[in-house]
Structure 1
Amino acid sequence: MRTGRLLLCLAMGWASVAQAQEAPQEHPIDRALSACIEKDYTTVGMIDCANTAYDSWDAELNKQYRALLAKLSPADAAKLKDAQRKWLAFRDAEFAFIDSIYAKLEGTMWLPTIVMDKSNIIEERTLQLQSLSSKADERS
């Protein structure tokens, strides 16, 4: 019986260590968003927090784009510019789709969610550009 408990405790400990190692570190923008919402979890407060996070992700996206662009050859920079133009078209289409879905829902509780859905799209592209920038560093 003791051996079974010991094995169970060891297995749980290993699972916790493995999970902690796999868990991505929360980005400072996401931490700021969580802290902001904790201070004011009213609908208006959440909208303000979500808008601030959106603006922060948008600024970070532009920063990562410029950083990556500076590392590229002229040919690769042209490819990035083309890809970013196409991504912006995708983003705008995705935002229009999000707006159309939420337009059919009632209640102000959806307002912060709309902003967060849009913010998530910006965040994903930002992290993608950041990852590509790291890979560009490895090439040189």
Structure 2
Amino acid sequence: MRAILICCGLSLSFYAFSGEKTIDLTQKSCLKQASSTHAMVQCYDTAYQAWDTEMNNHYHLLLTKLNSDQKNKLRQAQRDWLSYRDSWLAATKAWYLTQQGSMASLSINAQAVQLVKNQALMLQSLDQGSCANPDDC
């Protein structure tokens, strides 16, 4: 029984790590195949949605493990992060739209992906410690 649990745990850990790598690999592959700015924006949108799902999964998993005070602090931190994300993207848009013309949408979407990816990994690290990033282990 213990061996089965260990095996399942390792499988789930591998899945979590490979899932995150898969998002990045899928995004890179999509960008290489994209033949227009619009297609590239769609690649970023797909990656954003995937990382957003990862972020929300880690957030909800953490909520199941925390006591009341910890949950309140996590909720507030996530609300603050959402406000930061929106503020950062507004600043990004203001800058890139005046500097890059038609290519601005790519830079803006790339920034959005990186923001949500970072938050997903931060939430994962709360649950898994420094080994949330396999390069840290």
Fold shared per TM-score above 0.5: yes
Q: Unaligned stretches of 5+ in structure 1? A: 1-24, 136-140
- Matching residue within 95, 98, 108 for 2:102: 108
Q: Distance in 2 between matches of 1:118 and 1:132?
A: 22
Answer yes or no: is 1:128 the counterpart of 2:126.
no
Q: 1:28-63, CA deviations, whole angstroms, 9 ceiling, x for partnerless residues?
A: 111110111122242121111011111111111111
Taking only the aligned residue pairs, the percentage that are identical comes to 34
Q: Distance in 2 between matches of 1:106 and 1:118?
A: 17
Structure 1 stretches of at least 4 aligned residues deviating more than 6 Å after TM superposition? none
Q: 1:9-29, CA deviations, whole angstroms, 9 ceiling, x for partnerless residues?
A: xxxxxxxxxxxxxxxx87211
Q: What is the CA RMSD across the aligned residues, in angstroms?
A: 1.8
Residue of structure 2 in register with 1:38 after alignment? 32
Answer yes or no: is 1:92 the counterpart of 2:86.
yes
Normalising by structure 2, what TM-score? Answer: 0.75
1 or 2, which has the higher helix percentage? 2
Residue of structure 2 in register with 1:82 after alignment? 76
Does structure 1 retain, via aligned residues, the 8 Å contact 2:40–2:106?
A: yes
Report matched runs for 1:19-30 at 5 Å. 27-30=21-24
Residue of structure 1 in register with 2:12 after alignment? none
Normalising by structure 1, what TM-score? Answer: 0.73
Residue of structure 1 in register with 2:54 after alignment? 60
Letter aligned with residue 76 of structure 1: Q
Considering Cα pairs closer than 8 Å and 6+ residues apart, tell me whether 1 or 2 has the greater RCO.
1
What secondary structure sits across from 1:118 in the alignment?
helix
What secondary structure sits across from 2:101 in the alignment?
coil
Q: Distance in 2 between matches of 1:68 and 1:106?
A: 39
